[in-house]
């Protein structure tokens, strides 16, 4: 049976905080040595953060360790943003094989190549990936994994450093690096699942894209896209109209052949611009003619409802009972920026999955599968869930 523990300690002495957080996380394992430990550090300068990452990794005794600096840390039923702290997630995973890796970018005059990913095995069940956004092409790499590593769900996020480019620190197998991406592949027992809450709700009807050029949607259901958007917004109640002007997104249907499309059936992407002359709407992804789309809005209520619905559906369908722990990556645009309190997501995960071993960090972009394909998201909560297979009915 898997077992997970979490610890979070706040304070300016990051190395001391790392010691204490690691001790708290491993204490929950009832004397078992963790197979995997993930460490997240916020605050301090890069050297202090690196020392804290390495101290926590050593303190856990885990043979596989992973971690990064971040803008905030999550654990022990709390979340700390814009402060100094260390969170540790420790997991005893019997029957799971772990392969840690460090990805680096090789640049040639013609292209970029990413090296360091372990070869895929038929036994692989999931991977965790932490990337430095300044030195690693995370969006392109994650998209390519859908072809290069078919069927492998990847969960994780973009790390952050206190001083921007060059200040990120990543941890892999007890050592810190300052560029690229780090991760771990989990193989063997199929008691690990990935789940993503995108935090939006739909407005208006699902519509077919009838004209598009690249990432610009020109027409929806035969009407200029911008005109269609105005029509939909005009029909909303006043409070909804105000929301649509601030948090409008576009959802692209995952399954074109579904008889009905509901909340959670779309890959959500941001609207990055509009052109009054062409009537087009620019979306943060390629959208092909014939795809079904639906406008979406994001606010605290929508994000909270979507997280609850996602976790509730996951609990019913995942076949894990109990859930032993969760590694959580929450967007740095959530927390106290979106909700009344920074600890909204961690408390929701603990409540709806009936578990306590939940830790992670606030990310600058979240990695997770939607519709069976890995994507880089924004404003989402991405989770690696560890549990025990539910007993077969008698």
Are 322 and 240 found together in one domain? no
> Is pLDDT above 80 for 182?
yes
In the chain, the number of structural domains is: 2
* Per-residue confidence (pLDDT) for residue 258, from 0 to 100: 67
Looking up tokens 């100094």 gives 84
Are 136 and 89 found together in one domain? yes
- Per-residue pLDDT tens digits for 25-60: 999 999 999 999 999 999 999 999 999 999 999 999
> Which residue blocks in 37-156 are alpha helix, DSSP H?
46-60, 138-148
State how far the Cα of 378 lies from the Cα of 268, in Å rounded to an integer.
9
Are 291 and 233 found together in one domain? yes
Per 3-state DSSP, the chain is made up of helix, strand and coil in percentages (nearest 5) of 25, 40, 35
In a domain, 394, yes or no: no
pLDDT-derived band at 255 (thresholds 50, 70, 90) equals confident
> Is pLDDT above 80 for 266?
yes
pLDDT-derived band at 247 (thresholds 50, 70, 90) equals confident
> Is pLDDT above 60 for 380?
yes
pLDDT-derived band at 261 (thresholds 50, 70, 90) equals low
C-alpha triplet 198, 201, 204: angle, nearest 5°: 140
Which tops the pLDDT comparison, 128 or 394? Answer: 128
Domain boundary among 297, 322, 349: 297
Percent of the chain having pLDDT more than 70?
A: 97
* Per-residue confidence (pLDDT) for residue 109, from 0 to 100: 80
pLDDT-derived band at 83 (thresholds 50, 70, 90) equals very high
Name all contacts of 309-315 with Cβ < 8 Å and 24+ positions apart. Answer: 309/263, 309/264, 310/195, 310/196, 310/197, 310/264, 311/195, 311/197, 311/348, 311/349, 311/352, 311/353, 312/352, 313/264, 314/193, 314/195, 314/353, 314/385, 315/352, 315/353, 315/354
In a domain, 314, yes or no: yes
For the segment 282-297, the average pLDDT, to the nearest whole number, is: 93
Average pLDDT in the chain: 94
Give the count of beta carbons closer than 10 Å to the beta carbon of residue 354.
11
In a domain, 159, yes or no: yes
CATH number for the domain harbouring residue 224: 2.40.30
For the segment 191-208, the average pLDDT, to the nearest whole number, is: 93
Percent of the chain having pLDDT more than 90?
A: 83
> Is pLDDT above 80 for 235?
yes
Are 319 and 290 found together in one domain? no
* Per-residue confidence (pLDDT) for residue 383, from 0 to 100: 98
Are 221 and 189 found together in one domain? no
pLDDT-derived band at 265 (thresholds 50, 70, 90) equals confident
State how far the Cα of 173 lies from the Cα of 160, in Å rounded to an integer.
19
pTM of the complete model: 0.94
Are 42 and 106 found together in one domain? yes
CB of 331 closer than 8 Å to CB of 378: yes
For the segment 272-293, the average pLDDT, to the nearest whole number, is: 93
Are 73 and 175 found together in one domain? yes
Are 101 and 155 found together in one domain? yes
> Is pLDDT above 90 for 118?
yes
pLDDT-derived band at 262 (thresholds 50, 70, 90) equals low
Domain boundary among 265, 297, 329: 297
Query: Which residue in 147, 143, 378, 178 sits closest to 283, CA to CA?
Result: 378
Are 67 and 118 found together in one domain? yes
* Per-residue confidence (pLDDT) for residue 241, from 0 to 100: 85
Are 70 and 167 found together in one domain? yes
The domain in which residue 63 lies consists of: 3-197+303-389
In a domain, 123, yes or no: yes
Are 268 and 362 found together in one domain? no
pLDDT-derived band at 393 (thresholds 50, 70, 90) equals low
Are 170 and 206 found together in one domain? no
Domain boundary among 297, 317, 340: 297
- Per-residue pLDDT tens digits for 296-348: 988 899 999 999 999 999 999 988 989 999 999 999 999 999 999 999 999 99
In a domain, 218, yes or no: yes
């Amino acid at each position: 049976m898997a077992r997970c523990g979490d610890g979070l300690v706040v304070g300016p002495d990051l190395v001391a905080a790392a010691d204490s957080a690691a001790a708290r996380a491993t204490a929950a394992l009832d004397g078992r040595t963790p197979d995997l430990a993930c460490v997240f550090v916020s605050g301090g300068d890069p050297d202090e953060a690196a020392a804290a990452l390495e101290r926590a990794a050593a303190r856990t005794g885990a043979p596989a360790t992973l971690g990064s600096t971040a803008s905030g840390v999550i654990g022990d039923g709390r979340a700390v943003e814009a402060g100094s702290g260390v969170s540790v997630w420790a997991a005893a995973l019997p029957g799971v094989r772990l392969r840690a890796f460090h990805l680096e970018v090789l640049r040639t005059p013609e292209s970029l190549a990413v090296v360091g990913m372990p070869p895929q095995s038929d036994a692989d069940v999931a991977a965790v990936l932490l990337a430095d956004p300044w030195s690693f092409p995370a969006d392109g790499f994650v998209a390519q994994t859908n072809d290069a590593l078919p069927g492998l769900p990847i969960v994780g996020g973009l790390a952050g450093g206190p001083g921007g480019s060059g200040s990120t620190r990543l941890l892999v197998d007890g050592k810190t690096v300052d560029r690229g991406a780090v991760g771990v592949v989990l193989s063997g027992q199929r008691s690990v699942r990935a789940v993503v809450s995108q935090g939006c709700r739909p407005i208006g009807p699902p519509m077919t894209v009838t004209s598009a050029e690249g990432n610009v949607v020109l027409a929806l259901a035969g009407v200029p896209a911008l005109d269609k958007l105005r029509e939909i917004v005009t029909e909303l109640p006043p409070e909804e109209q105000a929301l649509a002007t601030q948090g409008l997104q576009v959802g692209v249907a995952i399954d074109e052949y579904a008889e009905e499309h509901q909340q959670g059936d779309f890959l959500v992407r941001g609207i990055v611009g509009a052109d009054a002359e062409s009537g087009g709407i620019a979306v943060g992804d390629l959208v092909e003619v014939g795809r079904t789309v639906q406008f979406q809005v994001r606010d605290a209520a929508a994000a909270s409802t979507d997280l609850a619905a996602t976790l509730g559906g996951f609990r019913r369908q995942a076949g894990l009972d109990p859930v032993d722990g969760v590694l959580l990556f929450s967007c740095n645009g959530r927390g106290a920026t979106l909700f009344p309190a920074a600890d909204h997501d961690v408390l929701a995960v603990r409540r709806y999955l009936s578990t306590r071993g939940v830790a992670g960090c606030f990310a600058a972009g979240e990695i997770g599968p939607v519709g069976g394909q890995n994507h880089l998201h924004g404003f989402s909560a991405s989770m690696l869930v560890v549990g025990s297979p539910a007993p077969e009915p008698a």
